[in-house]
Amino acid sequence: MIFFVFWLIGLIVGIITTIVDPSLRTLQTIALNLLFYQITITVTLVGIMGFVGHVLKSDMVAESIGWPKGSLFQKELGLSELGWALAGILAIWYKGVFWIAIIMLISPLLIGAAIIHINEMRKHKNFEPGNSITVLPDILIPITLIILSILAKIW
């Protein structure tokens, strides 16, 4: 649920800044502004929270997802998410191709994670909150990033 909240925060901040800034009036500039906040806020916060959860609170997160405790792969995932957070911060200064790289880095993982969580629910009846609730942001975040990047014409 927290990742959905981070997605909403990025969206709301982007919408507010779009309303306040009179120079943001074309579809391309609005999409670029919304994309900026999705990357710098949403991606950064998701990365930080993913790192904290998968590395520093890994047993608690494993239990909430219905995974076995003690998996080192979970720590590897958390370290990857720390990279997302750092990239999200750097995106304040580096734009264009750098943003495309961030989108290409996290989108397959999040969409793949959504598919895995859905399969867990279907095949193993794993409806633990950490497994089921995360599907929504795992789909929303990459789709939002991809659509906004196309509308902003950064490709």
The residue extents of the domains of the chain are 2-152
DSSP state string for 104-148: HHHHHHHHHHHHHHHHHHHHH----HHHHTTHHHHHHHHHHHHHH
Helices assigned H by DSSP within the chain: 2-20, 27-37, 44-51, 58-65, 72-90, 97-124, 129-132, 135-152
| Chain length of the chain | 155
pLDDT tens-place values along the chain, 155 residues long = 899 999 999 999 999 999 999 999 999 999 999 999 999 999 999 999 999 999 999 999 989 888 889 889 999 999 999 999 999 999 999 999 999 999 999 999 999 999 999 999 999 999 988 889 999 999 999 999 999 999 999 98
Find, among 109, 115, 100, the residue nearest to 145 by Cα.
Answer: 100
User: Cα-Cα-Cα-Cα dihedral of 107, 108, 112, 115, to 10°?
Assistant: 60
Tell whether pTM > 0.85.
Answer: yes
